[in-house]
């Protein structure tokens, strides 16, 4: 008695797999009509092949068995999609705020995010282009949050000088960002 070949060869020998290979297109159309998605039907047909290859008993009506297996896979697919939709709806309810039945999104729109990033980059470039003392005074006071007195102490100048640097920096930045 010769040893059996790899599992794939043994599976192809089974009557169920032979009928599957003959009826594959019909099974695909059967599933596509019910899922309304050729991609989902392809996935289900592939799952069906794996299940058919795993069946080791002789089947009296392989075609009927394949369609029953396909219908069961379809039911599992629909139930899984429903569970996913339910999880998505629950998550949306937990994480979103609704007003009058409409979702209120806390995040800004994507185009606003892009515009904001561009403006931030422009601001950073404009601050970097300020004269050294003016830029340092602006960064310490406006960006790092030091008071004018703390900024003056850190830079070794008077508070009045810091006020002048900050006012000049704001004018400079405003003009630069408007153009």
The pLDDT, as a whole number, for residue 3 is 42
pTM listed for this prediction: 0.47
The pLDDT, as a whole number, for residue 170 is 92
The pLDDT, as a whole number, for residue 80 is 92
Ramachandran region of residue 105, left (φ > 0), alpha (ψ -120 to 50) or beta?
A: beta
Q: Nearest 5°: phi and psi at 101?
A: 85, -5
The pLDDT, as a whole number, for residue 15 is 87
The pLDDT, as a whole number, for residue 106 is 67
Instruction: Pick out the chain residues at pLDDT < 70.
Output: 1-12, 97-98, 101, 103-106
For tokens 């290979």, what's the residue? 21
Q: Nearest 5°: phi and psi at 132?
A: -50, -50
Helix (H, G, I), strand (E, B) or coil at 59: coil
The pLDDT, as a whole number, for residue 131 is 94
The pLDDT, as a whole number, for residue 128 is 92
Write the DSSP symbol of residue 129: T
Measured between alpha carbons, how far is 5 from 7 in angstroms, rounded to an integer?
Answer: 6
| CB 65 within 8 Å of CB 18 | no
Q: How many residues does the chain have?
A: 179
């Amino acid at each position: 008695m010769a040893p059996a070949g790899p599992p794939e060869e043994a599976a192809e020998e089974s009557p169920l797999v032979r009928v599957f290979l003959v009826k594959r297109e019909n099974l695909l159309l059967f599933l596509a009509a019910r899922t309304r998605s050729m991609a989902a039907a392809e996935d289900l047909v592939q799952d069906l092949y794996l299940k058919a290859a795993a069946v080791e008993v002789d089947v009296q009506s392989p075609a009927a068995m394949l369609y029953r297996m396909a219908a069961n896979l379809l039911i599992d697919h629909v139930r899984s999609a429903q569970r996913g939709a339910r999880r998505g709806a629950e998550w949306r309810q937990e994480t979103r705020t609704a007003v009058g039945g409409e979702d209120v999104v806390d995040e800004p729109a994507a185009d606003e995010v892009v515009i904001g990033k561009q403006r931030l980059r422009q601001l950073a470039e404009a601050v970097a282009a300020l004269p050294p003392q003016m830029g340092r005074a602006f960064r310490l006071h406006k960006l790092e949050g030091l008071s004018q007195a703390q900024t003056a102490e850190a830079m070794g100048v008077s508070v009045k000088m810091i006020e002048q640097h900050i006012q000049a920096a704001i004018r400079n930045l405003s003009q630069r960002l408007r153009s």
